Amino acid sequence: MAALVLAPVSALINLTSQKIHPTLYPFPLVTTLHAARISLAFQGRVRVTSGKLPFMADLTGFLLMCWGGSLLSHFLLSLPAPPLLSPLPFLNYASVHLLLSLVPSSLHPNPKFLDLSLPLLDAVLRTGAIIGGISLVASHPNTAISSSLYTQLLIGAVSSSGGGVTATTLNLWSPSWTLATPPFLKGGVVDSLDVWSGSLVAAIYGGLSGSHKGYASIVGFEPFMTPLGARTVATVVLAALYAWRAWVMHVYRPGKAARARAQGEKGKGKKAQ
């Protein structure tokens, strides 16, 4: 039964690692899909918040939302971030965003539809970022960092949530950026999911694949899965969490609010009588 679930997810992970075209567009499908997903989300928030941004503010805000987790992770580990070493990440992400910006907003998918229909794709993209963060820690030249299990879990959370936290804390979808309290400090389990799920995924992947020798003593058994197998399991878990969050945010909470309004109007009607 597990193989029926895991095999298609593994195939999807392998597919997203392929380049779109070796010469015409030599960028991995995973980063291109990530750029498209963030672009649609960012443009949706801009339309609701401010309507339209100046070109440079729009592009910069989008890139910070895309790369926030990577930039913060590399900063915390005192490592140069990929966008500072090569123009290729900029060309990849900017081209996708500019292309989608040319599409009329009326043709953009509804954010609710995207959240409810794409939890698996979102999990594939986010798990890749988390595992990339773990690799940065495991290969770090400072042995105090590379030998730290805690640092792997911390960077997992930063890699997972850095982009969203940066966007909301700086209000990047507004013409005038402002500094606000990071949303995960104000929210509950659902609103802080991007943070704690990053550490959870890092622990699942690490425990199954052996990204740190300390896992064997904690879980009581030696790692028994390949990196791909461990990533697949972690992706399925994260997809389930994303599906749950989408249901809470787009179905349960609006329904609860509607019921509360209906009860309030009913109560007012009785008082008027």
pLDDT in tens, 23-66: 999 999 999 999 999 999 999 999 988 888 999 999 999 999 99
d(CA 28, CA 135): 18
- pLDDT < 70 stretches in the chain: 1, 257-273
Do 84 and 27 meet the contact criterion of CB atoms below 8 Å apart?
no
42's tokens: 């960012």
Q: Whole-model pTM?
A: 0.91
* pLDDT of 64: 97
CB burial string 1-27: b at 16+ within 10 A, e below: eeeeebeebbebbeebeeeeeeeeeeb
Tens of pLDDT, residue by residue over 59-73, are 999 999 999 999 999
* pLDDT of 272: 55
- CA-angle at 91, arms to 53 and 23, nearest 5°: 145
